[in-house]
């Protein structure tokens, strides 16, 4: 079933996220994606994200580094007014830390100005540490800010820079430093890595879902939103964590991409809730959000409005309101459908809380001129809630119809990424050589990640399988219970214990266990005549059924079917053994006892009774001599029959023919002996015969025999057959032979032909 799911995921037909067909054709986009497997697509996304993250890291490090940790809000118990920006600390090993004498006083002084080698002096103020330039009131203010950043960055690139430091108490000081040409990785603050991590997580998780469902629009919109988050977070990571300034042109470009990424995220999320979990609009309207927000971005780029408040922040707020409205409409549309309602509740809550918290703490306050309530770098963590929620929603509610097997791809990718990251860290820090670093990182991943992966799989996927030994015991209980209501009740109890469905109903016909309504229910066929059942809402309604559940149901039904077949075979064997004993007693014991009854020779009577007891033991133990030759069998049989007929005063004609010595198997010898005895017994008892003719021939691979008498005969069509004829017919049919009975006024003839098992013939 998993192979079928993968084939369905990689198919070329476009489907809606709710399973409804869609006439939307993505053109070249879809044509390109279906050529590659989900692994290839996901790894491509991983490489693209990693490459872009490396570029952002390069831009963040390609800055002149002084080594000052600056803040516009000094952390003092008693506020002290000062000019410039407060020096919160000095990084060890930096140019600022290598000053002679007492050095630059940290935590008790402020940077008020910088002067370049050419004598250009620029005062430094809190506005130079502005984290997000689109918080300014007008585009003119933004342009002035970018120009000022460019001048400061140009001074920092000169051979030396004079820093004017104003201590809390005392005279101003000037410290000449030579800025480091590249910023160390260790100096990048946590906010940088948070924004890079959030961007990668959003892009990779969106790409993960899209790689597995690239033929549907809902995963595409989620991937677009993830790409938008990365496009927004990556540039912000560079400029929001700068030490003091970066070139103005670079700052302007990064800020523009940050805005484009935010609107792209909005386009993706609006499109997602237009189509998932229920299709609210026709496919041709899915492009409207992109057109509207794209046009709004064009207005921002051309500066046709007063400032970034209207050009950048307002469309983001409008997009967030649109998402909330669409979630409400979807909530109404999914009424009466628990599966869609569960998916919407989980996804809608994640998006509303994550994106809504970012808008409420950063965008909306800035739009209202109140200032951001949180640092942008910290606020990006809210977006991580969205994509963590998506990943957990895939596991619990099978969002986008993905099953547990989808996580195998993600876990393996994470394992490889950890291997590369640990390898890079070891090379940069403590291990210089490539081979030992890789070996050590491989050991760390093997010892740490693989056990952690299994633990995460149990926690995330919520694998709670019942104990197999208990299920096997219950299967055997069902199989050994006599057919009827008790057996059906135990079969139902077995399914309830294995899957704990919220409801279970009989009567569902299915050849094999199958998921119904994308996992809302599980159809289980009834093996061996037991009723089939439909199980709704797994685990008491807390999750949907998965392919793993269908596989377990298939295993249980196959196990139960085999157990029921084994029981039927056992009962059939018991019944056949009972019939054999009954036939042997009727055909052999009865004939011999009748012969003893008619015998007037007491010595012979005792001999026949002893032979009868011997035959009785053989019948019970089924231990007749299997190595009795054909000639010996006929001689013994002729002796017994002739004595019976002599005692009854009936003449016998005997003729036996064979191509040579042969040994008959037990079943064949027993059948031959029983048919002759029963036929003779019937002729003596019912036919009033004067002569009985017996003919036995071993012809190649078959035995042909007949017993004929000259008695009064009977009409086979009018006389009901007794046990004797029925037993003879059963014996011959059991060997694959044919029995015929012909009777009339001139007597009765019983003839049979059956295989002799020539594999045991000896020449």
pLDDT score of 79: 56
Q: Span 206-226, mean pLDDT?
A: 85
Domain 68-181 falls under CATH 2.30.42: yes
- Using the predicted structure, report yes or no on whether residue 17 has a pLDDT greater than 70: no
- Using the predicted structure, report yes or no on whether residue 7 has a pLDDT greater than 50: no
- Tens of pLDDT, residue by residue over 241-261, are 999 999 999 999 999 999 999
Q: How confident is residue 409, by pLDDT bands cut at 50, 70 and 90?
A: low
pLDDT score of 24: 39
- Using the predicted structure, report yes or no on whether residue 3 has a pLDDT greater than 60: no
Between the ranges 69-73, 337-341, 535-539, where is the mean pLDDT highest?
69-73
Q: Using an 8 Å Cβ cutoff, are 547 and 1 in contact?
A: yes
Domain borders along the chain are: 2-60+189-252+307-318+353-403, 68-181, 624-760
Q: How confident is residue 139, by pLDDT bands cut at 50, 70 and 90?
A: very high
- Using the predicted structure, report yes or no on whether residue 299 has a pLDDT greater than 70: yes
624-760: CATH architecture: 2-Layer Sandwich (3.30)
- Using the predicted structure, report yes or no on whether residue 667 has a pLDDT greater than 50: yes
- Using the predicted structure, report yes or no on whether residue 763 has a pLDDT greater than 80: no
Q: Span 287-296, mean pLDDT?
A: 94
Q: Span 277-285, mean pLDDT?
A: 90
Q: What is the mean pLDDT of the chain?
A: 78
Q: Using an 8 Å Cβ cutoff, are 99 and 274 in contact?
A: no
Give the relative orientation of helices 38-61 and 405-428 as an angle to the nearest 10 degrees. 30
Q: How confident is residue 12, by pLDDT bands cut at 50, 70 and 90?
A: very low
Q: How confident is residue 234, by pLDDT bands cut at 50, 70 and 90?
A: very high
* Residue position matching structure tokens 């409205």: 325
Q: Using an 8 Å Cβ cutoff, are 708 and 696 in contact?
A: no
To the nearest 5 percent, what fractions of the chain are helix, strand and coil?
60, 15, 25
Long-range contacts of 405-409 (CB under 8 A, 24+ apart): 405/2, 405/5, 405/547, 406/208, 406/212, 407/457, 407/460, 407/461, 409/38, 409/39, 409/42, 409/208, 409/211, 409/212
Q: Is the dihedral of CA 14, 18, 21, 26 positive or negative?
A: negative
Q: How confident is residue 8, by pLDDT bands cut at 50, 70 and 90?
A: very low
- Tens of pLDDT, residue by residue over 565-608, are 887 877 777 777 677 677 667 666 666 677 667 666 665 566 56
Rounded CA separation 223/268 (Å): 7
Look up the pTM and report it.
0.58
pLDDT score of 179: 92
Q: What is the DSSP letter of 71?
A: E
Determine the Cα angle at 24 with ends 18 and 25, to 5°. Answer: 125
Residue 476's nearest CA partner among 572, 571, 566 is: 566
Q: Using an 8 Å Cβ cutoff, are 24 and 217 in contact?
A: yes
């Amino acid at each position: 079933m998993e192979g079928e799911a993968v084939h369905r995921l990689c198919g070329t037909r476009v489907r809606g996220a709710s399973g409804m067909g869609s006439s939307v054709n993505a053109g070249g986009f879809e044509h390109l994606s279906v050529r590659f497997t989900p692994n290839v697509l996901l790894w491509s996304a991983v490489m693209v994200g990693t490459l872009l993250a490396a570029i952002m890291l390069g831009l963040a490090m390609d800055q002149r580094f002084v080594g000052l940790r600056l803040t516009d809000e000094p952390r003092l118990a008693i506020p002290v007014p000062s000019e410039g920006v407060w020096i919160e600390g000095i990084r060890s090993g930096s140019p600022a830390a290598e000053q002679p004498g007492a050095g630059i006083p940290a935590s008790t002084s402020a940077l008020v100005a910088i002067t370049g080698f050419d004598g250009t002096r620029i005062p430094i103020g809190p506005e130079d540490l502005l984290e997000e330039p689109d918080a300014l009131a007008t585009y003119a203010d933004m342009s002035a800010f970018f120009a000022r950043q460019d001048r400061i960055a140009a001074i920092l690139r000169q051979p030396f820079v004079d820093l004017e430091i104003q201590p809390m108490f005392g005279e101003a000081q000037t410290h000449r430093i030579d800025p480091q040409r590249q910023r160390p990785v260790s100096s990048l603050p946590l906010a940088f890595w948070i924004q890079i991590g959030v961007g990668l997580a959003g892009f990779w998780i969106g790409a993960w879902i899209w790689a597995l469902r690239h033929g549907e629009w809902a995963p595409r919109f989620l991937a677009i939103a993830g790409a938008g988050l990365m496009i927004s977070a990556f540039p912000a990571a560079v400029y929001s964590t700068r030490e003091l300034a970066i070139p103005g042109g670079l700052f302007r470009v990064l800020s523009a991409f940050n805005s484009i990424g935010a609107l792209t995220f909005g386009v993706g999320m609006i499109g997602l809730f237009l189509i998932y979990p229920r299709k609210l609009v026709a496919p041709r309207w899915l492009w409207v959000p992109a057109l509207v927000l794209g046009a709004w971005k064009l207005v921002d780029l051309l500066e046709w409005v007063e400032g970034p408040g209207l050009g950048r922040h307002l469309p983001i707020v409008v997009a967030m309101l649109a998402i909330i409205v669409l979630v409400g409409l979807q909530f109404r549309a999914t009424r009466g459908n628990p599966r869609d309602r569960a998916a919407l509740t989980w996804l809608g809550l994640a998006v509303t809380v994550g994106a809504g918290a970012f808008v409420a703490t950063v965008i909306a306050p800035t739009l209202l001129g109140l200032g951001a309530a949180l640092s942008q770098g910290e606020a990006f963590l809210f977006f991580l809630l969205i994509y963590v929620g998506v990943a957990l929603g895939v596991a619990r509610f099978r969002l986008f119809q993905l099953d547990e097997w989808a996580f195998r791809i993600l876990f393996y990718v994470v394992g490889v990424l950890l291997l590369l990251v640990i390898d890079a860290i070891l090379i940069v820090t403590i291990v210089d050589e490539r081979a030992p670093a890789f070996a050590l990182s491989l050991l760390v991943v093997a010892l740490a990640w693989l056990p952690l992966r299994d633990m995460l799989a149990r926690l995330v996927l919520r694998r709670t399988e019942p104990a197999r030994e208990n299920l096997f015991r219950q299967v055997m209980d069902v199989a050994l219970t006599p057919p009827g209501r008790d057996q059906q009740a135990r079969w139902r109890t077995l399914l309830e214990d294995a899957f704990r469905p919220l409801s279970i109903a009989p009567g569902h016909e299915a050849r094999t266990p199958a998921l119904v309504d994308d996992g809302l229910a599980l159809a289980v066929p009834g093996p061996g005549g037991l009723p089939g059942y439909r199980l709704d809402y797994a685990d008491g309604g807390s999750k949907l059924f998965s392919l793993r559940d269908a596989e377990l149901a298939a295993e249980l039904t196959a196990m139960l079917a085999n157990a029921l077949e084994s029981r039927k075979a056992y009962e059939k064997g018991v019944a056949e053994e009972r019939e054999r004993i009954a036939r042997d007693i009727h055909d052999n014991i009865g004939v011999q006892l009748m012969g003893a009854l008619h015998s007037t020779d007491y010595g012979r009577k005792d001999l026949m009774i002893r032979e009868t007891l011997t035959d009785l033991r053989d019948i019970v133990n089924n231990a007749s001599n299997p190595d009795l030759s054909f000639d010996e069998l006929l001689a013994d049989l002729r002796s017994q029959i002739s004595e019976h007929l002599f005692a009854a005063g009936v003449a016998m004609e005997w003729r036996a023919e064979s191509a040579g010595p042969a040994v008959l198997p037990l079943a064949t010898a027993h059948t031959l002996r029983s048919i002759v005895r029963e036929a003779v017994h019937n002729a003596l008892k019912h036919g009033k015969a004067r002569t009985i003719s017996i003919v036995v021939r071993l012809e190649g691979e078959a035995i042909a025999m007949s017993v004929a008498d000259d008695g009064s005969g009977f009409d086979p069509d009018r006389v009901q057959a007794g046990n004797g004829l029925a037993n003879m017919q059963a014996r011959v049919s059991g060997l694959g032979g044919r029995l015929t009975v012909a009777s009339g006024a001139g007597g009765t003839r019983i003839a049979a032909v059956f295989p002799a098992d020539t594999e045991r013939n000896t020449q």
